[in-house]
Amino acid sequence: MLKNTEKTMEKIVALCKNRGFIFAGSDIYGGLANTWDYGPLGARLKNNVKDTWRKRFIQERKNSYEVDADILMHPKVWEASGHVASFSDPLLDCKECKMRHRADNLIDDFDPEAHADGMTKEEMFEYIKEHSIPCPNCGKHNFTDIREFNLMFQTFRGVTNNSKSIIYLRPENAQGEYVNYLNVQRAMRAKLPFSIGQIGKAFRNEITPGNFTFRTVEFEQMEFQTFCKEGSDTELYDYFKEYGKKYFEDLGLPAENLRFHDHEKLAHYAKAACDIEFLFPFGWGEINGTHNRTNFDLTRHQEYSGVKMEYLDPETNERYIPFIIESTYGLDRTVLALLVQAYDEEVLDAEKNDTRVVLHLNPAVAPYKAAVLPLSKKLSGKAEEIRGELSKYFMTDFDETGSIGKRYRRQDEIGTPFCITVDFQTVGDENTPADNCVTVRDRDSMEQVRMPVSELADYISERIKF
Ligand SMILES: [Zn+2]
């Protein structure tokens, strides 16, 4: 196996484009910076990851409920959450070349030990001046003042121009769960601790470029909020850190490529915060964040909405505003981590310079679970019949062109865990009766077993479980 640091993003990006996983957004118009479209295989992979998350976080847990809240929310939500006032990046422009930069990135790139995230706007400005940090684009040192640039996307609603009011595209999903906390608690007669999860899109108007789908302006999150009584919060926080790491390991990210990063500098509302980072070819990057948000969010919503957010404890008759433990999974980042981890180049025969590119994806998330390959086009009828039957259970591909070796390689490259070869024995002829068996080839070991067609669905279903 190649180490992740030996893999290159160029090759992974090229495979994603050529094999239909991920395309540049608005490609025919030259693309739109930091936007990406998932192709047929990428969309499957992404949906399969969502399914694994739903299984672990909703289906297998007690007192765990999924919601699907709207992206557009009442503007007061973002005042209550603090996003209107303080969700911003410190930006400055180069007066020479007009390039816009994030002040903290300028400093951290100049000296990684400087820790710009602990500095005020004024301190950052002084530091940049004092060290004459040059513009990374033109090399000159001539900057504007630092301005706070709000990261929320704004739009307007209203039928007539003068009735328009500001609406934001949500910068995080969490508020959709918080504003529905009372609705869910009452409708489900939920007792603390209980959780609300949600998968959905969020938007951030960032100027920082990307590393492919790692940092984008539009992205999808899988979020999990656990409402609990103060006092049980620390234990639940520790629990969800480990639960998240276990989830990633089950998906196929090995422990040596995962690490916790505990935050020393905390957001104003947080009691504790920790990221799970994954080792990408471009370095360690956050793929999950777990936060102890205390009772900050519900307290603020009570204040701004005027609606009581208290929970009546049926055992003690106490009334209190619950604490929240949040664990957020970046869906696009998880997909990218899985692609990076799965990507491998295996030398099969060094003398013949024969190498195969293979995605060792967990079968549970692989876009296609099986491909049906007739050895000859004369066998296509039978192969189509088998594919039709299997497609009732899972996604199945069909390929009848090129040599069987080439077809195996095409499936290896997109991570299909099983190739099913239909040959002349399967259907028989005048002299030999049909054996109704096929050959099943394993993607990783490349070993083959022969089995009756009637056992295929069970054999594969058993091996793609999460
Ligand atoms: Zn410049």
Instruction: For residue range 125-143, list pLDDT tens digits in order.
Output: 999 999 999 999 899 999 9
CA 391 – CA 137 distance, rounded (Å):
52
State the distance from the centre of ligand 1 to the C-alpha of 198, rounded, in angstroms: 42
Q: Which residues partner with 261 through β-bridges?
A: 275
pLDDT tens-place string over residues 418-444: 999 999 999 999 999 999 999 999 999
Q: From ligand 1's centre to the CA of 133, what distance in Å?
A: 11
Residue 132 Cα, ligand 1 centroid: separation in angstroms?
Answer: 13
How many A from CA of 316 to the centre of ligand 1?
63
126: left (phi over 0), alpha (psi -120 to 50) or beta: alpha
**Alpha helices of 72-172 — where are they, by DSSP H?**
75-80, 83-86, 103-110, 121-130
**255: pLDDT strictly greater than 70:** yes
3-class secondary structure, 134: coil
User: Nearest 5°: phi and psi at 454?
Assistant: -65, -20
Distance between Cα 118 and ligand 1 center (Å): 25
Using the mean position of ligand 1's atoms as its centre, give its distance from the Cα of residue 214 in Å: 26
CA 109 to centroid of ligand 1, rounded, Å = 15
Q: How far does the centroid of ligand 1 lie from the alpha carbon of residue 101, in Å?
A: 9
Quick check: 460 and 416 in contact, CB under 8 A? no
Cα 266 from chain centre? 23
Which of 88-102, 107-121, 452-466 is the least confident region? 107-121
Distance 97 CA to ligand 1 centre (A): 4
- Ligand 1 center to residue 223 CA distance, Å? 39
Centre of ligand 1 to C-alpha 100, Å, is 8
Structure tokens given for 384: 């189509």
- CA 142–ligand 1 middle distance (angstroms): 8
CA 106 to centroid of ligand 1, rounded, Å = 12
How many whole angstroms from 281 Cα to the centroid of ligand 1? 28
Question: Could you read off the pLDDT of 41-70 as tens digits, one per residue?
Answer: 999 999 999 999 999 999 999 999 999 999
CA of 96 to the centre of ligand 1 (A): 5
If one compares 111 and 342, the residue with the highest pLDDT of the two is 342
The pTM score is 0.93
CA distance 194 to 191: 6
What's the rounded mean pLDDT across residues 261-278?
Answer: 89
CA angle 25, 23, 222 (to 5 degrees): 80
Ligand 1 center from residue 220 Cα (angstroms): 33
Mean pLDDT, all residues of the chain: 94
Checking DSSP bridges between strand 218-228 and strand 323-330, what pairing results, if any?
antiparallel
Phi, psi of 411 (to 5 degrees): -75, -35
